[in-house]
Chain A
Amino acid sequence: DIQMTQSPSSLSASVGDRVTITCQASQAIKNYLNWYHQKPGKAPKALIYAASNLETGVPSRFSGSGSGTQFTFTISSLQPEDVGTYYCQQYDKHPLAFGGGTKVELK
Chain B
Amino acid sequence: QVQLQESGPGLVKPSQTLSLMCTVSGASINNNAYYWSWIRQLPGKGLDYIGYVFYSGSTYYNPSLRSRLTLSLDTSKNQFSLKLTSVTAADTALYYCARDTISGSGSRYFDSWGQGVLVTVSS
Contacts and interface: CB of A to CB of B under 8 A. Distances in A.
A87 B49 CA distance: 13
B60 A94 contact: yes
Given A50-B105, A91-B108, A98 B113 contact: no
A49 B116 CA distance: 22
B43 interface: no
B107 A50 contact: yes
B111 A46 contact: yes
**Interface residues of B, dominant DSSP:** strand
A36 B46 contact: no
A24 interface: no
Contacts of A61: none
Nearest to A85: B46
A34 interface: yes
Nearest to B6: A43
Interface centre among B51, B110, B113, B115 (most CB of A within 10 A): B110
B71 to A, nearest CB: 14
Interface in B68-123: 96, 98, 105, 107-111, 113-116
Given A43-B96, A43-B114, A99 B46 contact: yes
A91 B106 CA distance: 10
Contact of B109 (A42, A46, A94, A95): A46
Given A43-B96, A43-B115, A44-B113, A98 B46 contact: yes
B110 A44 contact: yes
Nearest to B35: A96
Given A46-B110, A53-B107, 5 more contacts: A46-B111, A50-B109, A89-B110, A99-B46, A101-B47
